[in-house]
């Protein structure tokens, strides 16, 4: 089974910084204040914070994709 995957849309980012404050192990901000993704597949210890950052992003610039269950 593959790990969850985080994606960011820097074009949608408004630089609020909620992601970097909520999950600094997964997100940062560049010099313009836009989101930087540090770990597209965050370790298990940081996944809950990454999910929370998705919900807190006022621009909806972050998505968190859970892997599809393997039916084999």
Tell me what pLDDT residue 3 has.
Answer: 80
User: What does pTM read for this prediction?
Assistant: 0.88
Tell me what pLDDT residue 61 has.
Answer: 98
> Architecture of 5-65 per CATH?
2-Layer Sandwich (3.30)
- The residue ranges of every structural domain in the chain are 5-65
CB count within 10 Å of CB 58 equals 9
Tell me what pLDDT residue 69 has.
Answer: 72
CA pair distance 71, 61, nearest whole angstrom: 31
Mean pLDDT, rounded, for 9-34: 97
């Amino acid at each position: 089974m593959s790990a969850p995957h985080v994606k960011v849309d820097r074009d949608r980012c408004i630089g609020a910084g909620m992601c970097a404050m909520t999950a600094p192990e997964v997100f940062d901000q560049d010099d313009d204040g836009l989101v930087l993704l540090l770990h597209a597949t965050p370790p298990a210890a940081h996944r809950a914070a990454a999910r929370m950052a998705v919900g807190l992003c006022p621009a909806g610039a972050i998505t968190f994709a859970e892997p599809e269950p393997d039916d084999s």
